Structure 1
Amino acid sequence: MAREYSPRDLEKYAQALQKAINGNETPVKQKHVRSAIIGTFHTQSAKVFWAYALRLPSMDDRIVAWKLCHVVHKVLREGHPLCLVDSQRHKKDLDALGKLWGHLREGYGRMIKLYTALLINKLEFHRRNPRFPGHLGVTAEELESIAGNDINNYFEMTVEMFDYLDHILELQEAVFGSLNMARSNSMTSAGQCRLAPLIPCIQDASKLYDYCVKIMFKLHMALPPDTLQGHRERFLKQFRALRKFYESTSNLQYFKDLIAIPPLPENPPNFLIMGDFRTYVTQEVVVAPQEPPEPDHEDEPPSEGSLIDTTDSGSGGEDRNLVSMAVHQEIVNEREFLRSQCEKLRHEINTLMSKSERDVTKLQEKITNLETDLATKESELVQERQVKEDLLNQSFAVAQSQDSEQKMKNEKFDKLKELYVKLRDEHIQKIREKAEVEKKLASTMKDLERLNELELEKQRLAESETQKTTELSALKKDKELFNMETEILKKSVNDACRERDAMKVELSNITQQKEELKERSEELSSRLMNLEEELGNEQKELQNRLQELVSSSVSNSENILKHAIDELDNPALTALTCSPDYLRSLTNGCLECLERSLSAKEPSKIITTASSIAHRHAIYILQGRATCNASPDITFGEKMAEACRMLGELVLKVLKGLRENTNTEKYVNGAKEKLEEVASLADSINVSLLGEKAENLADMLESEMLEMDKAIEEAANRIQDMLTNSRAADSGIKLEVNEKILDSCTTLMQAIRVLVKKSRFLQAEIVGQGRGTASAKEFYKRNHQWTDGFISAAKAVAVAAKFLLTAADKVVTSNGKLEQLVVAAQEIAASTAQLVVASRVKADRNSTNLQALTAASKGVTTATGTVVATVKDCGQLIDEAEELDVSNLTLHQAKRLEMDSQVRVLELEKELEQERYRLARLRRHHYQLAGENET
Structure 2
Amino acid sequence: MSSMRHGPARAKSRRAEVNLGAEREHFDKQQLSSIGKAINSSEMPVKEKHARRIILGTHREKGAYTFWSYALGFPLASSSILSWKFCHVLHKILRDGHRNALQDCMRHHGSLVEIGKLWRDLHDKYGQLVVLYTKLLCTKMEFHVKHADIPPNLEATDEVLERTAGSDINNVFQLTVEVFDYLDAELRLAETVIRQLNTSIAISTLSSGQCRLAPLIQVVQDCSHLYHFTVKLLFKLHACLPADTLQGHRDRFHDQFHSLKTFFNKARDMQYFKRLIQIPKLPDSPPNFLHAASLAKHVKPVVVIPDEYGPEQQEDDDDDPEPLIEVSDVSTPSLQAAPQQFDIFDQTFGPPNGGFDDRDLQIEGYKHDMEMLRAELEKIKAEAQRYITQLKSQINSLEAELEEQRARKQHALVENEQLRMELEATRRRNAEHESTQAVFVEAESRAQATEQRYNKLKEKHTELVASHAELLRRSADTVRMLSATQQTQEEVERTKLQLAFEVDRIKQEADMKLDEKKFEMEKLKRELEEKMAEVMRIRGTLKDSEQTSEQMNSSVTALQAEKERLMRSVSEKEAELSSVRQAAQVQQSSLQQERERSSRELGELQGKLQEKMSLEERLKQKLLQDQFAMLQGTVTEAENIIQDAVAKLDDPLHIRCTSSPDYLVSRAEATLGSVDKVKRGHADYLSNMGDAGGLLRALTQFSHLAADTIINGSATAHMAPTDHADRLTENCRGCATESLEFFKDLKSKTTLQKADTASIRVVVQKILYLGQELRPKGMDVRQDELGDLVDKEMAATSAAIEEAVRRIDEMMDQARKDTSGVKLEVNERILNSCTDLMKAIRLLIISSTDLQKEIVEGSRGAASIKEFYARNSRWTEGLISAAKAVGWGATEMVESADKVVLHTGKYEELIVCSHEIAASTAQLVAASKVKAERNSKRLSVLQQASRHVNEMAANVVASTRTGQEHLEEKETMDFSGMSVIKLRKEEMESQVKVLELESHLENERLRLGELRKKHYELAGVPSEATEETTLSNHPVTMSPKPSKPALVKKPTLAQKPNIPPKTTFK
Task: Return the index of the structure with the highest Cα Rg.
Answer: 1
TM-score of Structure 1 vs Structure 2, range by shorter chain: 0.3 to 0.5
Bigger relative contact order, structure 1 or 2, given CA contacts below 8 A and separation 6+? 2
For normalisation by structure 1, the TM-score amounts to 0.46
